[in-house]
A and B are shown apart, each in its own frame.
Chain A
Amino acid sequence: MKNIFLIIFTIVIVLTASGQNADLVYVDGWVDIRSGGEVYEALPGDVLRAGDSVITSSDSIAELEQKDRSKIIVKPDSIFTIREIETDSGKETVLATTVGAVSFKFGKLFGKEPILATPSMVAGIRGTELTVYAGEDGSTLIAVDSGLVTVESMGVSVDLVKDEGVEVLPGEVPGEKFSLLGRNLDFSSWNAEKYEDLIAEPILGLEHLGKQLGEYIKKIDSHNDLFNNLKSEKEAAKEDLQKIIDEKGKDQGRIFFNENIHPIDLKTNRLFLNIRYYSLSSLSFRRYILGRLYLDMKGRFIMDSKNPEYIQFLSIYQEKMSLFEDKVVPFLDVNDI
Chain B
Amino acid sequence: MYKRVFLLAIIAILAFIMSSCGAFLGVSIEDRITQFESDLNGNRSNIIDNFSESCDDYPGMNTLAYWNDSGSFDDDYKNFNITIPSNPDSTFTTSFSDTSGGGPYTIKFYLIDEGDFFLGENWRIRNIWISDTLYID
Report whether B54 and A253 are in contact in the complex, using a CB–CB cutoff of 8 Å: no
Residues of B within 8 A of A21 (CB): 54
Interface of A is mostly: helix
In the complex the two chains form, what is the Cα distance from A327 to B61 in whole Å? 19
In the complex the two chains form, what is the Cα distance from A117 to B53 in whole Å? 23
Residues of A within 8 A of B72 (CB): 262, 265-266, 269
Chain B binder among A44-52, A180-188, A207-215 = A44-52
Residues of B within 8 A of A266 (CB): 71-72, 130-131, 133, 135
Report whether A269 and B70 are in contact in the complex, using a CB–CB cutoff of 8 Å: yes
In the complex the two chains form, what is the Cα distance from A178 to B100 in whole Å? 58
Partner of A49, one of B54, B66, B74, B133: B54
Q: B87 to nearest A CB, angstroms?
A: 24
CB of B116 closer than 8 Å to a CB of A: no
Report whether B101 and A50 are in contact in the complex, using a CB–CB cutoff of 8 Å: no
Sort chain A's interface into a size bin: 35 or more
Within 8 A of B (CB), among A26-73: 35-36, 47, 49-51
Report whether A269 and B71 are in contact in the complex, using a CB–CB cutoff of 8 Å: yes
Report whether A254 and B58 are in contact in the complex, using a CB–CB cutoff of 8 Å: no
B11-41 CB mask vs A (1 if < 8 Å, else 0) is 0000000000000000000000000000000
Residues of A within 8 A of B96 (CB): none
Residues of A within 8 A of B61 (CB): 273, 276
Report whether A276 and B102 are in contact in the complex, using a CB–CB cutoff of 8 Å: no
Q: A272 to nearest B CB, angstroms?
A: 4
Within 8 A of B (CB), among A208-260: 227, 241, 245, 250, 253-254, 257-258
Residues of B within 8 A of A336 (CB): 59, 62-63
User: Beyond the given A35-B53, A261-B101, could you list 6 further A-B residue pairs with CB under 8 A, ordered by the A residue number?
Assistant: A19-B54, A20-B56, A91-B56, A254-B103, A266-B71, A271-B70
- The contact sample of 14 A-B pairs, CB cut-off 8 A, is A20-B56, A49-B56, A51-B58, A91-B56, A91-B137, A245-B101, A254-B101, A257-B101, A257-B102, A265-B72, A272-B71, A273-B57, A276-B63, A333-B65
Interface on A for B, CB 8 Å cutoff?
19-21, 35-36, 47, 49-51, 83-84, 91, 93, 227, 241, 245, 250, 253-254, 257-258, 261-262, 265-269, 271-273, 276-277, 280, 331-333, 335-336
- 4 nearest interchain CB pairs? A51-B59, A257-B102, A333-B63, A269-B71
